[in-house]
Chains A and B, each alone.
Chain A
């Protein structure tokens, strides 16, 4: 069975979750922040455990960034 990325709104506590991610970077240097983001991604990717779902998220992230390029 192929799993798909859930792109429907799926959180009940947006503000708390967002704050959690911002707080993750408290007192970190720029380089440490980049590293911490990477670690967060790796932990979540492992949790998802399905490269097809990850691929869809990867595409959303990259396409959106390219779209905002000037």
Chain B
């Protein structure tokens, strides 16, 4: 194996010896991609965070390798997005193959996302994301990563959560105000609290082989339905950095999981695909079964669930880790507000409301992909094959081909945090939808809209040549000085230049229009005109605060 996960020194806190209950504001269980990103988010907001990780190393293998645009935007806010895009591999050409035809049934070109900072998606080994994140955490003084510290017991109490932690040197206890369980599909936290995790296990297995070839292949994604080298099943091939290729074989239910991952049993499969004389070396081999499951509730007292501990999807569409990052993005600012004492439990409840909806949508999408790839009935197989055959010379059928729908942010159109439009809008971004990026200029220098949104509530106000009026300036100043400060971005005269007119276009905005943006870059409300009372009311609503 080429990749050896870094090992970390186990941490033995003083509490192991002293037997004093250690106090911590925020405890995160699990140092996977979701826990690490959430820790970075909260750490950069100034909170003290302790992360527990039972193992003393990162997980082996490349694992989650597709990062979609929205998670990249989140990671960019956290300062590691650019690094990931630089290292990652982008692909635009995809080819779909069916049965014994050597030529693809059709090819498609995912045109690059235009005039947004982040690409539509990149491929990158999970360990790069984790290493970049850990590096960023180590530069902070307020986040502590405790390797070799495993949660064994927990109990909600009046002041938060009391947890028992086990290390090789002994056990200790911690009292956390909040605990976020990012401890994956077999979440010990979820098990200890006995919270339901309903759904289905798919009676199928997938064999992953990450390999390095001697010769170069074009950077394309290939998907085979029912190929001769894996009859009745699917195969997916795509590229990662460092010339590593991910091959994902569907292998069915009735297999010997120990035998199938042995290199001598994988090599014939790869030779059947690429020819007898193909030269390559292995980086990682693994076999997995997948589930589609969702936790009964994301919040239990002072315990919050994020990532795989709260939802599991099929791998098609890369909706696992990508959804987890968005859980963290939704949760971090809410926890921040509650910790600061400016919002209450209603805001935490909205985390469950919004992210349960997102989990449902993701499970629905990934289940549909699975059903297309592995039809569950004779009629379903016939339709699937009809779609693929038609696709070869009829473009209209290609939209039905579902080899995974790439993870997209889920809007919250009915969220209790939204303030609905009180006048007519032509297009733009509605309350409950995430902001779209756009290129801008600040004093002649190119910047991005999302980068200028930052970490807090913001109003975006569009101006014409007149710039801001004295009245608007006065109101914006009041908002910026409120208990929950709402700073502003002026687009147009007197502010940022909308060089290509794309901000106005994407937000359906004319001079005088105002958007209220949540700290997670979702739209909370929008108006034609700046009315202080309306903005203040909408901020309260977006904070889950009801004033009489």
Interface residues of A (CB under 8 A from B): 31, 34-36, 38-39, 42-43, 46
Give, as a whole number of angstroms, the nearest-CB distance from A56 to chain B.
19
CA gap between A35 and B382 in the complex, in Å:
6
Give the chain B neighbours of A31 by CB distance below 8 A.
382
| 10 cross-chain CB contacts under 8 A | A35-B382, A35-B386, A38-B387, A39-B386, A39-B389, A42-B383, A42-B387, A42-B400, A43-B394, A46-B396
Kindly state whether residue B397 has any CB partner on chain A within 8 Å: yes
Kindly state whether residue B385 has any CB partner on chain A within 8 Å: yes
Kindly state whether residue B390 has any CB partner on chain A within 8 Å: yes
| Smallest Cβ-Cβ distance to B399: which chain A residue | A46
Binding site of A, secondary structure by majority: helix, strand, loop or mixed? helix
CA gap between A38 and B383 in the complex, in Å:
6
| Smallest Cβ-Cβ distance to B395: which chain A residue | A46
Contacting pair B389 A35 (CB below 8 A): yes
Given contacts A38-B386, A46-B397, 19 further A-B contacts (CB under 8 A): A31-B382, A34-B382, A35-B382, A35-B385, A35-B386, A36-B386, A38-B382, A38-B383, A38-B387, A39-B386, A39-B389, A39-B390, A42-B386, A42-B396, A42-B397, A42-B400, A43-B390, A43-B394, A43-B396
CA gap between A32 and B389 in the complex, in Å:
12
> What are the 10 tightest A-B residue pairs by CB atom distance, in nearest-first order?
A38-B386, A46-B396, A39-B386, A38-B383, A34-B382, A35-B386, A39-B390, A38-B382, A35-B382, A42-B397
| Smallest Cβ-Cβ distance to A34: which chain B residue | B382
Give, as a whole number of angstroms, the nearest-CB distance from A21 to chain B.
16
CA gap between A39 and B396 in the complex, in Å:
11
CA gap between A39 and B394 in the complex, in Å:
11
CA gap between A46 and B386 in the complex, in Å:
14
Give, as a whole number of angstroms, the nearest-CB distance from B379 to chain A.
8
CA gap between A70 and B11 in the complex, in Å:
70
Interface residues of B (CB under 8 A from A): 382-383, 385-387, 389-390, 394, 396-397, 400
Give, as a whole number of angstroms, the nearest-CB distance from A22 to chain B.
19
Give the chain A neighbours of B385 by CB distance below 8 A.
35
Give the chain A neighbours of B394 by CB distance below 8 A.
43
Give, as a whole number of angstroms, the nearest-CB distance from A57 to chain B.
15
CA gap between A42 and B385 in the complex, in Å:
12
CA gap between A38 and B397 in the complex, in Å:
11
Give the chain B neighbours of A35 by CB distance below 8 A.
382, 385-386, 389
Give, as a whole number of angstroms, the nearest-CB distance from A33 to chain B.
10
Give the chain A neighbours of B390 by CB distance below 8 A.
39, 42-43
Give, as a whole number of angstroms, the nearest-CB distance from A52 to chain B.
17
Give, as a whole number of angstroms, the nearest-CB distance from B422 to chain A.
24
| Smallest Cβ-Cβ distance to B391: which chain A residue | A42
Give, as a whole number of angstroms, the nearest-CB distance from A35 to chain B.
5
| Smallest Cβ-Cβ distance to B378: which chain A residue | A34
CA gap between A16 and B290 in the complex, in Å:
50
Of listed B385, B386, B394, B396, residue having the most chain A CB within 10 A: B386
Give the chain B neighbours of A42 by CB distance below 8 A.
383, 386-387, 390, 396-397, 400
Give the chain A neighbours of B383 by CB distance below 8 A.
38, 42
CA gap between A38 and B385 in the complex, in Å:
9
CA gap between A42 and B400 in the complex, in Å:
9
| Smallest Cβ-Cβ distance to B400: which chain A residue | A42
Give, as a whole number of angstroms, the nearest-CB distance from A58 to chain B.
13
Give, as a whole number of angstroms, the nearest-CB distance from B465 to chain A.
39
Give, as a whole number of angstroms, the nearest-CB distance from B164 to chain A.
53
Give, as a whole number of angstroms, the nearest-CB distance from B358 to chain A.
23
CA gap between A45 and B249 in the complex, in Å:
32
Give, as a whole number of angstroms, the nearest-CB distance from A16 to chain B.
24
CA gap between A31 and B382 in the complex, in Å:
8
Give the chain A neighbours of B386 by CB distance below 8 A.
35-36, 38-39, 42
Give the chain B neighbours of A36 by CB distance below 8 A.
386
Give, as a whole number of angstroms, the nearest-CB distance from A24 to chain B.
13
Give the chain B neighbours of A43 by CB distance below 8 A.
390, 394, 396
Of listed A31, A43, A46, residue having the most chain B CB within 10 A: A46
Give the chain B neighbours of A46 by CB distance below 8 A.
396-397
Give the chain A neighbours of B387 by CB distance below 8 A.
38, 42
Give, as a whole number of angstroms, the nearest-CB distance from A23 to chain B.
19
CA gap between A36 and B84 in the complex, in Å:
47
CA gap between A46 and B396 in the complex, in Å:
7
CA gap between A26 and B390 in the complex, in Å:
19
Give, as a whole number of angstroms, the nearest-CB distance from A34 to chain B.
5
Give the chain A neighbours of B396 by CB distance below 8 A.
42-43, 46
Give, as a whole number of angstroms, the nearest-CB distance from A31 to chain B.
8
Give, as a whole number of angstroms, the nearest-CB distance from A4 to chain B.
23
CA gap between A10 and B17 in the complex, in Å:
86
Give, as a whole number of angstroms, the nearest-CB distance from B255 to chain A.
28
| Smallest Cβ-Cβ distance to A38: which chain B residue | B386
Give, as a whole number of angstroms, the nearest-CB distance from A63 to chain B.
17
Give, as a whole number of angstroms, the nearest-CB distance from A55 to chain B.
16
| Smallest Cβ-Cβ distance to A47: which chain B residue | B396
Give, as a whole number of angstroms, the nearest-CB distance from A40 to chain B.
9
CA gap between A47 and B267 in the complex, in Å:
46
CA gap between A42 and B394 in the complex, in Å:
11
Give, as a whole number of angstroms, the nearest-CB distance from A49 to chain B.
10
| Smallest Cβ-Cβ distance to B385: which chain A residue | A35
CA gap between A34 and B382 in the complex, in Å:
7
CA gap between A42 and B387 in the complex, in Å:
8
